[in-house]
Amino acid sequence: MSFYDETLSSLHTKIKNKEVTITELTEQSFKRIKETDDKIHAFLTLDEERALAKARELDEQEADNLFFGIPAGIKDNIVTKGLRTTCGSQLLDNFEPVHDATVMNRLNEKNVVTVGKLNMDEFAMGSSNENSSYATARNPWNTDHVPGGSSGGSAAAVAAGQVPFTLGSDTGGSIRQPASFCGVVGLKPTYGRVSRFGLVAFASSLDQIGPITRTVEDNAYVLQQIAGHDQLDSTSANMEVADYTSALNQDIAGLRIAVPKEYLGEGVDEGVKARIQEALAKLEELGATWEEVSLPNSKYAVAAYYLLASSEASANLARFDGVRYGVRKEGEDLLDLYKKSRSEGFGDEVKRRIMLGTFALSSGYYDAYYKKAQKVRTLIREDFEHVLNSFDVILGPTVPTTAFKVGENSNDPLTMYLKDILTIPVNLAGNPAISVPCGFSDGLPVGLQLIAKPFEERTLYKVAHAYERATEHTKVKPEL
């Protein structure tokens, strides 16, 4: 059996009809991982013994829900009870959480089988997975290229057919950008739609957990399961969860699409631009209309984001001191222990952002940098509100380019930061956005990004599914 040929619904039907056992499904997942992971390095930790034991247990029970017995991979910054959670960092090499994240509790309620933890940029800081302190994950379409980041392992595992779905986290595009690079479907939910309890914090006002899948339908099913209010997360939205799957198979005639001129301007590869224009033509065939608009403050998004995210990171990462958990480096005194544990445990990119954030929050610079960045954030959110008052969705490329080669930008942090220029504004505004495959340029996948009003994930699924049904892009698979 190949996961490329199955959806969550078809796997559930086969389990229900006893055409396949959960043990066989789980074994298939580990078999595929062992066949391909020496090439793509999607997983940091496998939980084979416990996963197969759980699968055998579940084979004695009736499959009572869509997720029953489905293998899944989890990004390594989402805590999993008794299963090593490193955040891609040497500092947490020995960390085994004593509780599960809320999203894990919600998957475990449905008896999902967790096969392991997925590779990522250290503490979710990166756009290529090259900042992982264990191994650089690779793109299944061409292993000379990056899979994107920071959820590079999460996207690569789905693209490589290792698991039917994964969870990632998105702070400035870390679900959508790797989904675009790897030719899969990735959703960043509205801020507060999915509980962050148990997600190791990078930037608390920006982070969101979301699903990565092969199809839009599967994505809707996963969000349906993990979304909802959580009393353990003070930023969780106390709002009813919509029926996302009811948005599938709907007509999009009359849909109003906004295309920001800034999203197809300078810096966007011609091949990427061509695929987006083809997608617009396809949506027009389906009855949608579109107009060019402007999001004038989006050009300030990268600068504002890196000030805000780094400031929050400098505070959130202060807890990693080598005392309470993680790897400890012995020193002459307590201060020396802190210095050695943090300087040896953190990688260069994490140190860079901690220093930038500490500087932006320091006396004399707070107003000039952090406070000004917050004001810019408000302007960016107002841009989205203004456009989405007249349109149903905003459309553009997920990333200005296809996946770049490993090592191509690793010594140029600024160029790397600019790879997120089209995804970062969405996190600053808190809106939901989805990336869906829309073809290829030079043999590598291109992603189409759709953005909607807060808590309008149903609209995103409606448009994305209509587009997916009218094209063949999600049926193409990499040859590993």
Q: How far, in Å, CA of 411 to CA of 52, rounded?
A: 42
Secondary structure E strands in 214-354: 256-260, 289-293
Q: Is 362 a catalytic residue?
A: no
Radius of gyration of the chain (CA): 21
CB contact at 8 A, 320 and 300: no
Query: CB-based contacts of 445: which residues, under 8 Å, 6+ apart?
Result: 141, 180, 181, 182, 183, 402, 403, 437, 439
Q: Is 453 a known active-site residue?
A: no
Identify whether 174 is a catalytic site residue: yes
Q: How far are the Cα atoms of 46, 189, 206, 460, 467 from residue 244, in angstroms, in the given order? A: 31, 12, 23, 9, 16
User: In terms of C-beta density within 10 A (0-12 exposed, 13-18 middle, 19 or more buried), how is residue 70 classed?
Assistant: buried
Sign, CA dihedral 192-460-156-133, equals negative
Question: Of the listed 29, 54, 75, 341, which one is catalytic?
Answer: 75
Length, in residues, of the chain: 480
57 phi and psi angles, rounded to 5 deg: -65, -45
Q: How far apart are CA 147 and CA 128, in angstroms?
A: 6
CA–CA separation, 119 vs 40, rounded Å?
Answer: 10
Half-sphere exposure of 182 (CA within 13 A, CB side): 40
Q: Are 308 and 370 within 8 A, CB to CB? A: yes
Cβ(209)–Cβ(199) under 8 Å? Answer: yes
Out of 132, 133, 151, 174, the active site residue is: 174
Out of 150, 154, 169, 195, the active site residue is 150
What angle in degrees, to the nearest 10, is found between the helix axes of 216-226 and 457-469?
Answer: 160
CA nearest neighbour of 173 among 441, 435, 442: 435
Q: What are the catalytic residues?
A: 75, 150, 174
